[in-house]
């Protein structure tokens, strides 16, 4: 932790020094430019020669500023360093026959596209989009037992998804969603930054929306503490706030607001397309064993 603090302090001092140098250079050049004719006469040089030299110096400083900007973006202080997401469900061994149609991966309704996609999407809306990833998409239970017909059916739909990658902002991520036979531990989302840590436990599946527990700790706190959601972020009526309709209700309130105001709301269709591109990249990474760019 001490190394991180020292690095952050050093980065801030370095960027401040670079800004001061560029400001001084700009002030100097703005003062020299109008005086070029007088300077050329004083040192007995052609004004064209001095003008070319002045232009080259100015252009060099511009290129240096551009390079410094890229360097600060690449090596400068990051607010989010890493995120971890875990969702462990249970009940993968048995289903009634009216739900075993989901065993076919080609039908598109499975743990990857529903359970994982929902919590993965929520994480990305908070932390940012991924730029690259590697993944394992696996079917660990290849047969389900139909509780009413007493028959086993073959399964191709995935029940375990593991993703490791990097966000566009440079932070790294480890996300794992699995459906197991018994006693799944539930949902957990953790975000680690240079200023502290935020964690959410529970509420990863339908019907658990109001069971979420939010924890957070500033860098100077001794431990994580309970966090309350500010009232300004709760938009649904009072009688909806403690039931399973809470999340969907929140979305419909913003949807109605967008219709009335004509403003953009999220998620929209462009967001949906991007999320499905992310899911496609996850499948390709698993099938090929190669790291994928997310575009």
Q: Does residue 155 share a domain with residue 97? A: yes
Q: Does residue 201 share a domain with residue 121? A: yes
- pTM of the full predicted structure? 0.71
Residue 80 φ/ψ, nearest 5 degrees? -105, 125
Q: Does residue 86 share a domain with residue 59? A: no
Of residues 65, 28, 23, 32, the one with CA closest to residue 51 = 32
Q: Does residue 10 share a domain with residue 126? A: no
Q: How many domains does the chain have?
A: 2
Q: Does residue 113 share a domain with residue 53? A: no
Residue 286 sits at the vertex; the CA angle it makes with 169 and 276, to the nearest 5 degrees, is 60
Domain boundary among 25, 43, 75: 75
Q: Does residue 140 share a domain with residue 265? A: yes
Q: Does residue 134 share a domain with residue 108? A: yes
* Domain of residue 194, CATH code: 3.30.360.10
Lookup: tokens for 40: 């050329």
pLDDT at 287: 98
pLDDT at 59: 44
Q: Tell me the pairing of strands 172-180 and 160-167.
A: antiparallel
Q: Does residue 122 share a domain with residue 245? A: yes
Domain boundary among 20, 44, 75: 75
pLDDT at 48: 53
pLDDT at 244: 79
Q: Does residue 126 share a domain with residue 210? A: yes
pLDDT at 67: 45
**Average pLDDT per block of 10 residues along the chain, 295 residues long:** 45 50 48 53 54 47 44 56 95 93 94 94 94 98 97 97 97 97 93 95 68 89 92 90 84 90 84 94 98 94
Of residues 174, 187, 189, the one with CA closest to residue 90 = 187
Q: Which helix (H) or strand (E) holds 11?
A: helix 2-32
Question: Is 153 in a helix, a strand, or coil?
Answer: strand
Domain boundary among 18, 51, 75: 75
Question: Is 25 in a helix, a strand, or coil?
Answer: helix
Q: Which helix (H) or strand (E) holds 218?
A: strand 213-218
Q: Does residue 106 share a domain with residue 27? A: no
For residue 252, the enclosing domain spans 80-293
Q: Does residue 194 share a domain with residue 66? A: no
Q: Does residue 187 share a domain with residue 133? A: yes
């Amino acid at each position: 932790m001490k190394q991180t603090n020292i690095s952050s302090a050093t980065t801030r001092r370095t960027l401040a020094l670079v800004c001061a140098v560029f400001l001084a250079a700009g002030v100097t050049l703005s003062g020299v430019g109008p005086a070029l004719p007088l300077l050329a006469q004083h040192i007995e040089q052609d004004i064209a020669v001095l003008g070319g030299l002045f232009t080259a110096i100015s252009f060099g400083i511009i290129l240096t500023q551009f390079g410094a900007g890229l360097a600060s973006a690449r090596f400068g202080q990051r607010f989010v360093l890493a995120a971890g997401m875990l969702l462990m469900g249970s009940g993968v061994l048995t289903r009634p026959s009216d739900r075993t149609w989901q065993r076919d991966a080609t039908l598109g309704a499975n743990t990857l596209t529903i359970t994982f996609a929902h919590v993965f999407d929520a994480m990305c809306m908070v932390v940012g989009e991924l730029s690259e990833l590697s993944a394992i998409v696996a079917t660990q239970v290849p047969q389900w037992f139909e509780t009413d017909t007493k028959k086993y059916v073959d399964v191709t739909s995935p029940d375990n998804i593991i993703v490791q990658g990097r966000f566009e902002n440079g932070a790294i991520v480890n996300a794992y969603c699995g459906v197991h036979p018994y006693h799944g531990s539930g949902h957990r989302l953790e975000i680690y930054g240079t200023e502290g840590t935020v964690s959410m436990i529970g509420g990863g599946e339908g019907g658990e929306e109001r069971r979420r527990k939010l924890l957070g700790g500033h860098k100077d706190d001794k431990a994580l503490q309970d966090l309350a959601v500010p009232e300004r972020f709760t938009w649904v009526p009072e009688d909806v706030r403690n039931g399973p309709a809470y999340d969907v209700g929140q979305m419909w309130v913003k949807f109605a607001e967008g219709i009335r105001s004509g403003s953009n709301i999220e998620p929209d269709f462009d967001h949906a397309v991007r999320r499905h591109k992310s899911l496609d990249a996850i499948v390709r990474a698993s099938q090929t064993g190669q790291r994928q760019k997310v575009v």
